[in-house]
Every structure is written in structure tokens, then in C-alpha cells.
Amino acid sequence: EPIACIFDLDGVLVDTAVYHYKAWKQLANSLGFDFTELQNEELKGVNRMRSLDMILQWGGIEKSAGEKEILAAQKNEQYVAMIRKMTIAEVLPGALDLLTALKAEGIKIALGSASKNSALILERTALAHFFDAIVDGNSVSSSKPDPEVFLKAAELLNTAQENCVVFEDAAAGVQAAIAANMMVVGIGKPENLPGAQVVINDLSEISIREIEELRKR
């Protein structure tokens, strides 16, 4: 049976972490405390509300559920204003070539992201047309490390989970892929991505043949 590929968005196909960082930092500063790039690293793959909870905890601040809704909306407004200006130049190295090659071979492609802004990002970066299925923060109830996002993607692709290869930059995402009984390629540093079958710096470092070889390991 042919393989299918499921891509995380932020940190795998595009670099939006810098925009998340700027928007969260602005929010933290407005509440009277700072937010570091190191803390931003910990928010990779973590959904918006959970991210806000972690930031408020770091700042030692407690807010009601209603106030949190408002703060999360404020952050998102800042974030969306920035990603609206994204261009295809912000697609990460190797992503376009790999997606193009997969498409040419007829290998199915899905998105498996925690973001609720994936449609806007895919549109701004002209990547939308590559995807046979899109599963993002708008279509799941449990976030990574729960496997729901990837299981839904496999279902939409009509492919058994054993044939799916997930590309992830976040530890929670690698755990989600393993829980889904899928193969997983980590993007980043091996020490940050335990459980990934192979870890590369970016998508330019892997070929379709190497992806297919993962099934034999």
C-alpha cells in the first residue's frame, strides 16, 4: 500500500513561531511581565488557550475564564495582523520541493496542525493546493499529544494509520504521532524530539525514497 504524508504547519512548513512570540510578548508586557524566546519554545504545538494558561502561570497571574477568552482574542488579533502579511518567501527550506515531489508521485498529503489560523497561512504562502485533507485546531477537540488530529487526517485520506508518516517539530506532536501508531520524522534537534524515527534540520534533508524506507525499520 502507498504511504501518506501528514505535515504539521508551524515549524515544519512555515516559520510562524516568530509571530506567535511577538504577539504573546506584547500581551505579557501589557500585563506587566516579560516573555522570553526560551518560553516561546515551550509553546510549540501547544494550542492557544493552553499557551495562555502557561504564560499567565509564568507571570504569576490568575484570570477568570471570561478574561482569558478576551486575552486570547487580543493575542490572536495581533498574530493575525502579522500573518496576513506573510509571503511565499516564508515557506521553510525544502518544503515546496518535497510537497511538489509527493504530489507528482500521487502520494496523499494532509495537514495536521493545532492552529486555528491554518487556512489563512496556507493561503498567504500559496501551499493550500497541495493538500488532500486539512485537519487543524478548528476540527479537533483534544490537542497534541492526543492522537486525534493525526487519526482524523488518516481517516480523511482514507489511509490506514500504519501507512502514514508524520512530520513534526514539537515533542507533543511526535508523541501524538506515536500514539496514532504512525511513523514520524522529527524536524529540529534529536534531544528535543524523543521517539522520532529520524530527525532532520529541515525538509530539504529527506527524499521520498528515504520516507518510504521508514516503513521497513
Cell of 15: 516559520
Asked if 170 touches Mg ion (CB under 5 A), the answer is yes
Q: What is the C-alpha to C-alpha distance for residues 208 and 172, in angstroms, rounded to an integer?
A: 25
C-beta closer to ligand B16: residue 146 or 212: 146
Grid cell of 13 as nine digits: 512548513
Q: What are the beta bridge partners of residue 4?
A: 108, 164
User: Which residue among 10, 15, 132, 136 is the active-site one?
Assistant: 10
Does a cis peptide bond (omega within 30 degrees of 0) precede residue 190? no
Q: Which region among 10-18, 52-60, 96-104, 201-209 touches Mg ion (by CB under 5 A)?
A: 10-18
> How many Å is the maximal CA-CA distance in the chain?
55
Cell 504564560 identifies what position? 55
Is residue 10 close enough to count as binding ligand B16 by CB under 6 A?
A: yes
Exactly one of 8, 14, 46, 99 binds Mg ion (CB under 5 A); that residue is 8
User: Has 8 been annotated as catalytic?
Assistant: yes
Task: Identify residues 43-62 at the interface with Mg ion (CB under 5 A).
Answer: 45
Judge whether 152 and 138 are in contact, CB under 8 Å.
no
Q: Which does 186 bind (CB under 5 to 8 A by kind): Mg ion, ligand B16, none?
A: none
Q: Is 10 a catalytic residue?
A: yes
Which of 97-105, 107-115, 177-185, 188-196 is the region at the interface with ligand B16 (rule: CB under 6 A)?
Answer: 107-115
Q: Which residues are catalytic?
A: 8, 10
